Amino acid sequence: MNLMANIIINVIIAFLVGSLLLGFHRKVMARIQLRPGPPIIQHFLHSLKFFFKESSFPKTASMPFYVAIASMYCAIWIVAVIVGPVTYGSLLLIFAIYAVYKIVEHNAGSSSGSPYGKMSCVRAVFSAAAEIPLFAVLAIVFLQTGTMNIGEIIAYQSANGPLIFSIPLAALMFFILLLSKSPYSPFSITKGKDIISGFETEHFGVLRGYMMLSESISWYILLWVFLTVFFGPLSILWYLIGMVVITAITALINATTPILNPNHSVMSQITIAIVGIGGSILLMFIV
C-alpha cells in the first residue's frame, strides 16, 4: 500500500472511531446521570451535518486568520496520524503537535472577536501551565527506554513488558491528560459551561465541521498514543477494547465530578505532575 493511501485510510479510521467513541462517551455520561442521552452516532452525524450547513462569519472576526486557524486545527491532527499510526515516528513530534494545538486553541478563541472566545483564549494560556504532566511523561519514557521512537518503544516493551507496570505513575499522568481533553472534564476550563463553547463559540458551518472532525481525530490519537506507549504491541481488537474502556472511565469521572475553576484545575494537574515525576524517578532507581 502506498503512503498516500495509508494516510487517507488511517485518517478516515481515526475520524470514524474517534467520533463513535465521543458519542459513546456522551451516552455513558447520560446513562450515569439517569438520562437516555443521544445515540452513539450523534457526534458523527453532527460532524457531517456542519459541512452541509451555511457558513457565516461574525463581523468581529479577524479574517482570514479566523478561517485559517480552523483549517490548521484539522491539519495538525492529520499530521499526528501520519507521525503515529502511519509511520510510527518520534514521540517527540507527537507532543510537538500537541503544543501547536495549544497555540491553535488560543488563537481560535481570539480570532473570532467573541467575548466567550477571548475568555477561552485567556484560559488556554493559563492552562498551559497544567501541561507539565505531558513533558514529564516524555522525559520519563525516554529515561526508561532510551528512545523517543514509537516503533522502538514498542520493541522495548516486547522484550521487557508493558511500561504500564514499570512506570505506572507516568501512565497516570498521561491518563490525567486524556481526562483533561475529554468532553465535560473537571479540568476542561477552556470550554467550560460558563463560557458556552469556548474557543469554538463563533465558528459555524464548514469551519465548525473541521473542528468537530479534528476533535474526533485528536481523541483517537491521544488514546492510540497512550495504549501504544504503555501497553506495547496490541492487535486491532485490543486497541478498540482499550479505547472503549478508557472512554467509559473518563465518562464516569466526568459525569460525577463538577468542573473545577481555573485555579484549582491547573494546580491539581501540577500537583499530580510533581507527585508523578518524583514517584517515577524513585521507582526507576529502586527497580
The pLDDT tens digits of the residues spanning 202-219 come to: 667 777 788 888 889 999
How buried is residue 114: exposed, middle or buried, by Cβ count under 10 Å (0-12/13-18/19+)? buried
Query: Residue 282 to residues 30, 136, 137, 140: CA-CA distances in angstroms?
Result: 41, 14, 15, 11
Beta bridge partners of 149: 90
> How many Å apart are CA 202 and CA 204, to the nearest integer?
6
Kindly report, residue by residue over 235-281, the tens digit of the pLDDT: 999 999 999 999 999 999 989 988 777 777 777 777 877 777 777 77
Residue 260 Cα to chain centre, angstroms: 19
* Cell 504532566 -> residue: 133
> How many Å apart are CA 216 and CA 206, to the nearest integer?
15
Check: pTM over 0.85? Answer yes or no. Answer: yes
Helix, strand, coil percentages for the chain (3-state, nearest 5): 75, 0, 20
Residue 5 Cα to chain centre, angstroms: 25
